[in-house]
Amino acid sequence: MARKFLYVFAGLILLGAAVLFALRIWGQDLTRVALIPSTAFEEQAPLAGNAYADARMWLSHPRFQRDTDPARWLPPGVDAGPELPVAVFFVHPTSYLERARWNAPLDDAQSQSRARTFVRGLASPFNQAAQLWAPRYRQATFGAFLTDAPEGAQALDAAYADVAQAFALFLAEAEPDRPIVLAGHSQGALHVLRLLREQVAGTPVADRIAAVYAVGWPLSVAHDLPALPLPACATPAQAGCILGWSSFAEPADPGLLLDTYANSPGYDGESRGNSPILCFNPLTGTIGGEAPASANAGTLVPDEGLANGRLVPGAVPARCDEQGLLLIGDPPELGPYVLPGNNYHVYDIPLFWQDLRADLARRVATWQSR
């Protein structure tokens, strides 16, 4: 099931040393006990129909001042650059780690602070966009991804309902002649892909998509991509396509991940089995391939508090292996949140921060040239 898969691969945004310690030391069983809510699922009342008309329901919004919008942050020495005529809709990853509820309350200060940190580091590569939107939403708690119990699915559905409502307002207010980019990481990527299937496929919106950055959520080339309305991005300047990758340093130990992936159903309802994972290489701009560290224009290396960071060019290489994992060579020193098995999931986007800025500009230019 998707919850179990997200646990292994894409739900591990752990800005809490205690949680990471639990994963490393206690193992899966005790981690589940520590993080899965023991309370009954509480049905989430629908938000007011105009809830997202209030700018306070957004972490990033076109009406925000640049110096107060976390997504508009830039590393020292980086110029804002020319504005790109594109509207970006970004969905942040899991920032709620509590077991008191299945869905995060919107007034939970700690998870909202983490969400702003995520937007600062993960949405900022897209901040040349003329419009950048990142909604607050009642995300599923991390523990919801550790179980196949129905409460986990209910929590994800409730979170998606908020994201879909925010997306509807985004579509209503984004200028109709602008291209659109959808982006998300981990739980955010899961919701973005569902938007593609349920809100974009078969509608005029599909023609407006310049790119979809669904990072940290593995897509089966055989069992997921055919069910989506857009193809994978095969060339550096292609528009109207999907990008995704999952980062491991070497030696990589993705065994648990691949076992769970093999037993999870794809979007076509069939088991993913050993089907290759979509591996977009941010350094080549293509599916697969290999590039040396010298090709990396800048990795965002965060400071200890994750509030700021600096760009380091040439920090990591990138190559796609046969299964579809993105390998980044020897483990780089980026911080304490590397997951077991040399899994750099938390850093999927910062690893290629500067190259993603260039990738966005190319794909928007291609869309305009159409």
pTM score: 0.92
Query: Residue 241: pLDDT band by 50, 70, 90 thresholds?
Result: very high
Task: State the average pLDDT over residues 167-176.
Answer: 93
Mean pLDDT over residues 211-237, rounded? 96
* pLDDT for residue 72: 97
Tens digit of each residue's pLDDT (9 = 90 or more) over 335-345: 888 988 999 99
Strand-by-strand arrangement of the 318-320 sheet: 247-248, 326-327, 318-320, 290-291
- CA–CA dist 47, 63 (Å, integer): 21
Average pLDDT for 143-155: 84
Nearest-angstrom CA–CA distance, 121 and 306: 8
* Spatial separation of the C-alpha atoms in residues 297 and 283, rounded to whole Å: 8
pLDDT at residue 9 tops 80: no
**CA-based nearest residue to 354, from 324, 323, 316:** 316
- Reported as a single tens digit per residue, the pLDDT across 187-205 is 999 999 999 999 999 999 9
Cβ atoms within 10 Å of 317's Cβ, excluding its own: 18
Range scoring the smallest mean pLDDT among 6-20, 67-81, 153-167, 246-260: 6-20
Residue 318: the pLDDT is 98
The pLDDT score that the predictor gives to residue 10 is: 37
- Condensed to tens digits (0 to 9), the pLDDT of residues 103-124 reads 999 999 999 999 999 999 999 9
Residues 284-341: tens digit of each pLDDT:
999 999 999 999 999 999 987 777 899 999 999 999 999 999 999 999 999 888 988 9
Residues with Cβ within 8 Å of residue 45, at least 6 apart in sequence: none
How far apart CA 298 and CA 316 sit, in angstroms, is 9
